Amino acid sequence: MAKAAVLMPYPELKETAEALLPLYPRITPMCVEYTETDQIEERVKQLAGHGCDLIVARGLQARVIREAVEIPVIEMRASTQELEGLVLSLRRQFPDDEMIRLGIIGFFNMFHSMELFNETLGKALKTDLRIYTATDIAQYTRLVDQAREDKCLGVIGGKTVCGRARALNLACRFLSMGEESMHEVLEAASRVAYSIDLLKRSNAEMSVMLDNTFDAVVQTKTDGGILRANRTFYQLAGSKPEQTVGRTLESVIGSLEEFDLQKAMQYGKQIDSMLVVVNHATALMNMSPVQVDGKISGAVFTFQEGARISEMDVRLRQNASKRSLTVQNTFENQTSRNGDYQRLLEQARKLSRHDVAVLLQGEPGTGKGILAECIHNGSLWRNGPFVVFDCSIWHPDDLDEKLFGRFSAKRDTERSVVQQAMGGTLYLRHVELLGTETQYKLCCLIHGNYLHNAAEEGIPAKIRVIASTECDLYSRVKQKLFRSDLYYALGTMCLHVPPLRQRQEDILSLWQKAMTRYNAKYHRQMHLTDDAVDFLCMYGWPGNMDQMENLCNRLTLLAAKRSVDAETLREHLDAPQSTESFADSDVKEYANNAQTELLEALKRFHGTRDRTAAYLGISKTTLWRRMKQCGIARDLSTY
């Protein structure tokens, strides 16, 4: 676990941190201390020597820490709501009908962006807010004097600021920062701590893997500088880590031509079985570029013949990155005041600890995918991949091939979805759309037997299956549309996810979470009036959380005022979802031309999907989608 130190400049802030830290289990406190600024540098160096991974600090102390040690520092900033309260309190000392000027004084890293804050609150209160930022504590006295010269009638700041203001007979308010600011900084620290934990584990796993292979492996940056190497490479090169890391690979391997390295870095060109000399020994070298988000960030080199460790390294990094970005929901970050949903979470938590398949049922948008991620992260499979497959976006004829693979006489054309999920969790959405044969294979997979299309007999499989549906599977069993053995394999552990209208106690908190995200994304400060809160909680939400997310996004972007009332909510709920961008005649002409072209191709090849798709230069799935859009009959034999 990431070890964090919380260092505060005031005793009351230390006490607030101690009270709130238990709410953030991802943070492992190394210490929570009140520390004087003149002692902070020596203290953080001691903490660094004892393995501190993360520091939470404020203002000048945060700046000193950044210059003293190379440890991530999460800076505590005054929340907008707390500043708003102080401004309101100070403003009440002066006549309401007069335009006045107030100053906010603090260290440059103590505030969020104040431009919008001044524009909205300042105008509403007939107040010109001036922001004075310091880079050194000695500047505070001069800044208070400057505020007075600028005709500020009052100031907001720390102890030094308030002391100087009183000496000048200026009104003042002490900027202490409270629970809200502490919550914000601890929430940010919790996310960083989680990332540090993932990185530690990834590095440890990678080091064990690399140090226990017989091939020499080196990872470089784009300029050829060595980032790390395994034990076998150091033995091959006859050097030590401190003599190798940081040097260019060309300086270690004399026979490596610079042009070959440039091909890997600039063009993503992989090089196989290149003969090189390392420390007077001849070796075969493979070189593979590492790409992150489509950009080359370095390369992995392997020496001697054997397994493609470079490919393993790239794949492990990609999988780890994917998991950290997309599988972040856990039972710890799911809260509810609704009794039924609390019981559902507890049932799901218990199921996650056991190696059983789970079926999630519920209306669209109720959060079945979130619950599936929680079950994965609470299970023994949490270190493995979490693969989501939506059965509704593929043609029924293609589902079996996508899930279980297609065999070629020469080789497997690509890894199946099941193969990608091995050692982890396979989450199937709209499971009711699977064909009968695929249902049988899925039933076998749940029981640990993978029926690859290339194998006559099943292969042992280590995989967890979570499925979801929006329909009544039992009725489909009675209609002979769904296999009973698969239904009972899934339905034994069935969780019914309630719609949002049955979780009225949670509506406001879910809205506030969504609004917080979009406020941060679009740099706004939207909030609900009392009548809007009542409307929000009484509304039926037919689209559940998906509808709530879309409405929140639309409001944050389009609402004219930061204060959202019930009427504004109704307007945006009733807003049309789309508009016509073409004249009806243009649309019909386009549709008719597309349909005619598709019909002619189908007739030419007597309805054969493979040949028609090849003729048009598209896949069979794309062909099926175009047929569906054009209203062409499913029975191909008529053509």
Distance CA 609, CA 635 (A): 11
Per-residue model confidence (pLDDT) at position 271: 72
Token representation of residue 399: 């589902």
Burial class (CB in 10 A: 0-12, 13-18, 19+), 584: exposed
Residue-level pLDDT at 248: 84
pLDDT of residue 325: 42
- Residue 114: predicted pLDDT: 62
How much is the pLDDT for 483? 92
How long a stretch of residues is the chain? 639
**How far apart are the C-alpha atoms of 76 and 24, rounded to whole Å?**
16
User: What domains are there in the chain, each with its CATH number?
Assistant: 3-76 (3.40.50.2300), 80-176 (3.40.50.10660), 213-325 (3.30.450.20), 331-496 (3.40.50.300), 500-573 (1.10.8.60), 584-638 (no CATH)
In whole angstroms, how far apart are CA 552 and each of 354, 509, 510, 548, 564?
A: 37, 13, 11, 6, 11
Number of H helices, E strands in the chain: 28, 22
Write out pLDDT tens, residues 509-525: 999 999 998 888 888 88
Question: Looking at residue 620, what is its pLDDT?
Answer: 73
**pLDDT digit string, tens, across residues 131-167:** 898 887 788 899 999 999 999 999 998 888 999 999 9
What does the DSSP assignment read for 186-235?
Answer: HHHHHHHHHHHHHHHHHHHHHHHHHHTSSSEEEEE-TTSBEEEE-HHHHH
In whole angstroms, what is the distance from residue 460 CA to residue 466 CA? 18
* Helix, strand, coil share of the chain (percent; to 5): 50, 20, 30
User: Looking at residue 449, what is its pLDDT?
Assistant: 86
* Residue 116 in tokens: 């919008």
**What is the predicted pLDDT for the residue at 125?**
81
CA 335 to chain centre: 19
Closest by alpha carbon to 257, among 276, 273, 238, 281?
276
CB 366 within 8 A of CB 544: yes
The C-alpha atoms of residue 441 and residue 419 are separated, in whole angstroms, by: 14
**Ordered alpha helix ranges (H), 566-631:** 566-573, 584-604, 609-616, 620-630
Give every residue of the chain whose pLDDT is below 50, as ranges.
305-325, 408-412, 454-455, 576-591
Residue identified by tokens 């500088």 is 225
